[in-house]
């Protein structure tokens, strides 16, 4: 199965890359998608559309050691990740820098970015256009700052200039509860 890089962006634009398989466009109707797989973490819970694996990646950024917990799954035609990066008290979280870091991390361009508020948390919804192994790919991502951590929800599709996120990604976002 082919592998695609799905980025998890740290607070100061450092990027941790993890792999996910992608094969074809998401065309299943919502009714046939099946149940979401629950993930519970400090400060939030969410459902992923496939069985997630959990990993922790540690990166030193601006002298701070940051441990990102990543839940990732491969739905065959798309890949999905959720991550949480606690940030030391007093370290500012630059969401605009994180957006650009996400695009830079996959060698792509920010196609759209908007500021959002979700359950009181400030954040960004972004879409990135990139390529992987000479194929076009689109990344949909939500970044949220919640209780001293950066929480990210992401879908990666091997599809050029996809304007609409897959139903699975929408279902993930609908299931996200900040606690």
Each of the 179 residues of the chain gets a pLDDT tens digit; together they read: 233 233 333 222 232 222 333 333 444 443 356 799 999 999 999 999 999 999 999 999 888 999 999 999 988 778 999 999 999 999 889 999 999 999 998 899 999 999 999 999 999 999 999 987 788 999 999 999 999 999 999 999 988 889 999 999 999 999 999 99
CA dist 58 and 56 (Å) reads 7
98, 13 Cβ separation under 8 angstroms: yes
Helix H or strand E encompassing 175? helix 167-175
Q: So what's the pLDDT on residue 161? A: 85
Q: So what's the pLDDT on residue 20? A: 33
Bridging pattern class, strands 78-86 and 64-74: antiparallel
Q: So what's the pLDDT on residue 50? A: 93
Q: So what's the pLDDT on residue 16? A: 27
Q: So what's the pLDDT on residue 122? A: 97
Q: So what's the pLDDT on residue 38? A: 96
The Cβ of residue 7 has, within 10 Å, a number of other Cβ atoms equal to 25
Q: How far is CA 107 from the centre of its chain?
A: 16
């Amino acid at each position: 199965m082919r592998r695609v890089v799905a980025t998890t962006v740290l607070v100061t634009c450092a990027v941790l890359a993890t792999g996910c398989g992608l094969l074809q466009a998401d065309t299943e109707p919502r009714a046939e998608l099946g149940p979401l797989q629950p993930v519970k973490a400090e400060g939030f819970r969410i459902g992923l559309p496939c069985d997630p694996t959990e990993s922790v990646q540690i990166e030193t950024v601006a002298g701070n050691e940051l441990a990102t917990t990543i839940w990732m799954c491969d739905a065959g035609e798309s890949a999905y990740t959720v991550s949480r990066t606690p940030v030391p008290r007093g370290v500012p979280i630059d969401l605009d820098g994180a957006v650009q870091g996400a695009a830079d991390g996959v060698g792509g361009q920010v196609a759209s970015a908007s500021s959002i508020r979700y359950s009181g948390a400030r954040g960004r919804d972004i879409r990135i256009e990139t390529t992987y192994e000479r194929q076009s790919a689109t990344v949909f991502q939500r970044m949220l700052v919640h209780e001293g951590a950066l929480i990210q929800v992401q879908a990666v599709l091997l599809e050029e200039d996809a304007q609409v996120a897959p139903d699975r990604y929408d279902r993930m976002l609908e299931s996200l509860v900040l606690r």
